[in-house]
Structure 1
Amino acid sequence: MLISNCFRKFSSVAAAALLLCSIPATQAEPLTLEVNPRTNTIETSVELTPLVSFDLKIKFDNAVGLSAENISVDAQLLNVNDPALTSRLPDSLLTALPTAFPVQLSITPDPSKGFSFSGAYEIEIYTKSLHYTEGSPLRLFHSHANATFEDMTTMTGAGSMRVRGNGGQFSDFVILADLRSKSDVINTKFTRMQSFVTAQQTNLGYAAVTALDNALSAINSALAAQQTGQALAATQQLINLLESDDGTLFPNVWRSAGDLVNVQGRLLGMATTLRYSLRTL
């Protein structure tokens, strides 16, 4: 298979981590959470099998009603060849769930409770089941409402594998090996952000639409000219614009009832993961 052949491009350590014997799929199990409302954090440490364990941390800038009763996190071992999974991959030939860590996390706030947050959250997964090496293809992906998994990575690092991402809504989360070209990943991320802005224009005022159109035009022009440095600078300007807003220009609240679109948080997630890919180009 193409995936198996491409893995040979990476170090033997990384390849060994990805090509361990398959781990049987399991039913989703709820995790015991350590919730700290003072620091707006959720943390847990999990051992699903002797070979599969991880630490999870979610941090909010500002949250209301954050408690273990208002939010649940489930972990499940998946069959890497399950059509229900492979049909949600962005590319069935170039992206794959590593058999050493076939884990899906599902974060589900109780819609009947009063949990909400503003801006973007940060999620971090740390696992010794995978090993980070320079050039590793491992990335953090999320999927909302069983849609296609999307790359949300903002950081990858050693010890043994640590990944982070930002988001504005809750989803399913997986770590995938992504062997798509970096230019394809960048174009996909930009197109996704552009489509989201277009879809949200009716929820935004003139000033917000104009600012976003100008920011996206600057990024697009730089990408078309293959000016990575200029694209990175324009993306950073967009991130600065979003982070400096207090919700006046861009709606920035998500709540468990599911009745609000957290435009600021979702755009920050898209922009920061685009920045990550531009930095690694």
Structure 2
Amino acid sequence: MYASKTLLKVAVLWLGFSLSSYSSSAAAVDLPLTINAQQNNLSANVELSPLVSFDLSVQFENTVGLTPQNLLVEASLINLADPDILHRLPDSLLTTVPQAFPVLISVRPDSTKGFSFSGAYTIELYTKSLHYTEGTPLRLFHSHQNGTFEDITTMTGSGSYRVRGNGGQFSDFIILADLRDANTIIQSKLTRLESIANESQSQLSVGAYQALVDAINTVSVAINADNKGQALAAVENLIHLLEADNGTLYPDVWRSSNDLNNVRGNLISAATTLRFSLRIE
């Protein structure tokens, strides 16, 4: 087994706001990041302040170049009113940063190095700074290249709060309280799924694209007919279609130079978080 430790750079950024529970002094904290290249995973235990800490883990299907030199992972305390964050929220009124966990996590592989992965990674956060309750609106969101944050949640649980999601690309992750209507969330996830498929058409064979579109259309028809059972079954069929492929029909490689579209990983992420929302609706 190959296991190595390096430093997770945790930039604790104070962006001009004052919360009584936090120190106002800027600081940079270096913490150990554990990388196990043989197991295709990384993990870290992070403490940003006496009241804000979390455990991070990322599990990949397969990786190349998963080494300490090829990755930069940063965590920042953010200003709850920071316009650079607010304009990236899907709804500035109904999706909000929890005051007890104003944390932005950024995973930025070095673009000049040879890191790559295939398929969808699974990211999990565990924190005692938040508490799980049944029906909690807390969700894990992801933003690529400063774009709008999108819900990628596939699981939430207790102890004190644990959340899991997956994806086919990096950059930023944040926990938000999402108070949008359940149907709005489901429709937004369906739209994301359709958009990924449409944007990937040029990379797919006619047959692969048609199979994908047919599967997504079946999901869409069931959702729009308000048939939850059929919608869940259709999403499961779509996920099976994607997970059964090894990158032959649906390209599934992402690399740090950011020049490849991880079609399968992005579709799996969109489909599995849609399944999560259908199950809890």
Structure with greater proportional strand content:
2
Q: Is 1:27–1:77's contact at 8 Å kept on the other side of the alignment?
A: no
Is 2:219 the partner of 1:219? yes
Letter in 2 for 1:71: L
Paired with 1:80 and 1:227, the residues of 2 have a C-alpha distance of: 38
Match of 2:129 in 1: 129
Q: 1:62 to 1:161 in 2, by over 3 A?
A: same
* Contact 2:21/2:51, CA 8 A, preserved across alignment: no
Q: Could you tell me which residue of structure 2 aligns to residue 190 of structure 1?
A: 190
Distance 1:88 1:22, change over 3 A: farther
Equivalent residue, structure 2, for 1:142: 142
Contact 1:78 1:102 survives alignment (8 Å): yes
Equivalent in the alignment of 1:94: 94
Provide the rounded CA distance (Å) in 2 between the counterparts of 1:131 and 1:194.
34
Name the counterpart of 1:73. 73
1:145-167 deviation per Cα after TM superposition (whole angstroms, max 9, x unaligned): 11110000000000000000010
The aligned residue for residue 159 of structure 2 is 159
Confirm or deny: 8 A CA contact 2:110 2:256 kept in the other structure: yes
Q: Deviations over 1:226-269 (max 9, x none)?
A: 00111011001000000000111100111111111000001000
SS at match of 2:135: coil
Higher relative contact order (CA 8 A, sep 6+): 1
SS at match of 1:264: helix
Q: CA deviation at 1:72?
A: 1.0
**CA RMSD between the two structures:** 1.5
The count of residues paired between Structure 1 and Structure 2 equals 262
Aligned residue for 2:190, secondary structure, equals helix
1: CA distance between counterparts of 2:25 and 2:87? 17
TM-score (normalised: structure 1): 0.90
Q: State the distance in 1 between where 2:172 and 2:65 align.
A: 21
Question: Taking structure 2 as the reference length, what is the TM-score of the superposition?
Answer: 0.90
Per-residue deviation, 1:176? 0.2
1:106 and 2:112 equivalent? Answer: no
Give the Å deviation of 1:32: 3.1
Whole-angstrom distance in 1 between the partners of 2:140 and 2:25? 20
1:171 CA displacement: 1.4
Q: For 2:99 and 2:62, how far apart are their aligned partners in 1?
A: 36
Name the counterpart of 1:82.
Answer: 82
Question: Identity, % of aligned pairs?
Answer: 58
Stretches of structure 2 that go unaligned for 5 or more consecutive residues are 1-18
Q: Which moved more, 1:220-229 or 1:29-38?
A: 29-38
One-letter amino acid of the structure 2 residue matched with residue 150 of structure 1: E
SS in structure 2 of the partner of residue 109 of structure 1: coil
Deviations 1:168-196 (A, max 9, x none): 00110000000001110000000011011
Could you list the runs of 5+ residues in structure 1 that have no partner in the other structure?
A: 1-19
**CA distance in structure 2 between the aligned counterparts of 1:26 and 1:156, rounded to whole angstroms:** 31
Per-residue displacement from partner, 1:1-47 (whole Å, max 9, x unpaired)?
A: xxxxxxxxxxxxxxxxxxx8564595776653110011111000011
